[in-house]
Amino acid sequence: MRKLTYYIACSIDGFIGDPEGDASAMYPFVDEEFLAFLVAEYPETIWTAGRRQMNIDDLPNKRFDTIIQGRGSYDLALKEGTTSPYSHLREYVASRTLGESPDPNVEIIADDLVGRVRALKAEDGAYDIYLCGGAKLAGELADEIDELIIKTYPIVQGSGMPMFDSGFAITQFALESVRSFGNGVLVRTYSRKR
Ligand SMILES: NC(=O)c1ccc[n+]([C@@H]2O[C@H](COP(=O)([O-])OP(=O)(O)OC[C@H]3O[C@@H](n4cnc5c(N)ncnc54)[C@H](OP(=O)(O)O)[C@@H]3O)[C@@H](O)[C@H]2O)c1
């Protein structure tokens, strides 16, 4: 089984962005040391345009070969004029309103989201599935998530967009690893206890 991994940037108090989802307060923490880590360990999670800018466009994928994001997150790419922000991955966008995909590399999932994700997880392959967010999609797919990789930035927001937009439910995860960085960023990996 391939894992569904929610790989996400958040504040100390668990918000992935401001109340509208804007995560730009976290960008200053992507300094030289942390960027080097991201490039070395998770190069496929960087937008294709960013990879081109950094001249790392030809780096092979390390953990993921597939990404799924909600239409809210995908809108950010569309606003930047990009229809395939992760063209080095197979891209899926959950949406009941987008209709036809604006890009041949992007498949829209309008129906049976959980069934489609289960089918992706059941495919053969060494690579996992990157659940990009946002909060609504993560809430919808919470029961399918096998792993969390949480990049925690040293800020407290008080309010904002939560990691999961879902009802109250306790799910246990086991801590697998923690990496810390000079600027206070932590990267924690958890596996779901089943
Ligand atoms: N900090 C981070 O690392 C990080 C990462 C990713 C995103 N974000 C932030 O998250 C924000 C977006 O989050 P969000 O919660 O507003 O939106 P979202 O989860 O990205 O997308 C929600 C949309 O996904 C579609 N969707 C959800 N469930 C579905 C289902 N069962 N079947 C079909 N489509 C479904 C719907 O699209 P339709 O309305 O088109 O039907 C829904 O409106 C962005 O502002 C972004 O900045 C932050």
Cα 117 to ligand 1 centroid, rounded to whole Å: 15
Contact criterion met (CB below 8 Å) for 163 and 139: no
**Best CA proximity match to 153, nearest among 19, 23, 5:** 23
Q: Which residue has the tokens 């730009």?
A: 24
Cα 64 to ligand 1 centroid, rounded to whole Å: 20
Contact criterion met (CB below 8 Å) for 2 and 121: yes
Q: What's the maximum distance between 2 C-alpha atoms anywhere in the chain?
A: 45
Q: Which atom of ligand 1 is nearest to the CA of 132?
A: 6
Q: How far apart, in whole angstroms, are the C-alpha atoms of residue 138 and residue 121?
A: 16
**Best CA proximity match to 11, nearest among 190, 167, 158:** 158
Percent of the chain with pLDDT over 70: 100
Ligand 1 contacts CB of residue 68 (under 6 A): no
Ligand 1 contacts CB of residue 87 (under 6 A): no
Q: How far apart, in whole angstroms, are the C-alpha atoms of residue 74 and residue 124?
A: 26
Q: Which atom of ligand 1 is nearest to the CA of 69?
A: 20
Q: Which residue's CA is the closest to the ligand 1 atom numbered 13? A: 134
Average pLDDT over every residue of 68-89: 98
Is the bond preceding residue 134 a cis peptide, omega within 30 degrees?
Answer: yes
Q: How far apart, in whole angstroms, are the C-alpha atoms of residue 28 and residue 182?
A: 13
Q: Give the other-Cβ count within 10 Å of 46's Cβ.
A: 22
pTM over 0.85: yes
pLDDT in tens, 103-160: 999 999 999 999 999 999 999 999 999 999 999 999 999 999 999 999 999 999 999 9
Q: What domains appear along the chain, each with residue ranges and CATH number?
A: 4-192 (3.40.430.10)
Query: Is residue 192 helix, strand or coil?
Result: strand
Cα 93 to ligand 1 centroid, rounded to whole Å: 9
168 — pLDDT class (breaks 50, 70, 90): very high
Cα 182 to ligand 1 centroid, rounded to whole Å: 31
| All residues at 6 or more sequence positions from 115 whose CB lies less than 8 Å from its CB, including other chains | none
Cα 97 to ligand 1 centroid, rounded to whole Å: 12
Ligand 1 contacts CB of residue 134 (under 6 A): yes
Give the DSSP letter string of 130-183.
EEEE-HHHHHHTGGG--EEEEEEES---SSSEES--S------EEEEEEEE-TT
Query: CA of 160: how far to CAs of 13, 34, 42, 141, 171, in Å?
Result: 10, 24, 26, 20, 22
